[in-house]
Structure 1
Amino acid sequence: MQKKKIPQRMCVGCQEMKSKKELLRIVRTPDGSIVLDATGKKAGRGAYICPSEECFTKAMKQKRIEKALNQPIEAAVYEALRDGITKI
């Protein structure tokens, strides 16, 4: 039997490759809103991040989430994302 391939994604915070299931997905939906995607299947452009406060803070300070989603992000959206990440 062949081994099943495990999808790998890079965290925008720590820049480490990890399995897709370990990371959370942040999505820019087709209507332009930015949300946390728990299922990993919402339509739109996505960026992956570790479920830790440190990675999120690093990605926010260096504007890596904005670069990955090709859209500027407001402070209120960052706070909503931070709340979502810390709850998980």
Structure 2
Amino acid sequence: MKQRKIPMRKDIVTGEMVPKQELVRVVKSPEGEVGLDTSGRANGRGAYIKLDVETANQAKTKRTFDRAFSTKLPDSFYDELIAYVDHQVARRELFGDE
């Protein structure tokens, strides 16, 4: 049986190429709103970050998504991102990779 190709994406904080399943997508919609794309299919420009709390904290200190989307994002966005990543990491530890 032929092995499936694993889609890879670049983590915007570390610059590593990581399997898409291990990333979370942040999207800037055509209306200019920036938010988490939990489905991975929302319209707009996307950037990926690894499911790692340390990487999410790095993104907050470096203001990575401010530069990526050329806009000023509030701290609450980064706090939401960190909370989401933390939740997903805990979920993966509990239930394993799905």
- TM-score bracket, normalised by the shorter chain, equals 0.7 to 0.9
Give the length in aligned residue pairs: 88
Q: Percent identity?
A: 32
- Point out the more displaced range, 4-13 or 46-55: 4-13
Query: Which structure 1 residue ranges, 4+ long, deviate > 6 Å from structure 2?
Result: none
How is 1:1-88 mapped onto 2 (pairs within 5 angstroms)? 4-88=4-88
Please identify which structure carries the higher helix content: 2
Q: Does structure 2 retain, via aligned residues, the 8 Å contact 1:46–1:68?
A: no
In the aligned structure 2, how far is the partner of 1:22 from the partner of 1:46? 15
In the aligned structure 2, how far is the partner of 1:31 from the partner of 1:5? 33
Larger radius of gyration: 2
Structure 2: unaligned runs, 5 residues or longer: 89-98
Structure 1: unaligned runs, 5 residues or longer: none
In the aligned structure 1, how far is the partner of 2:84 from the partner of 2:41? 17
In the superposition, the TM-score normalised over structure 1's length comes to 0.83
In the aligned structure 2, how far is the partner of 1:85 from the partner of 1:47? 15
Which structure's relative contact order is higher, taking Cα pairs within 8 Å and 6+ residues apart? Answer: 1
In the aligned structure 1, how far is the partner of 2:77 from the partner of 2:64? 15
In the superposition, the TM-score normalised over structure 2's length comes to 0.75
CA deviation string 1:51-72 (max 9, x = no partner)? 1110111122222222222222
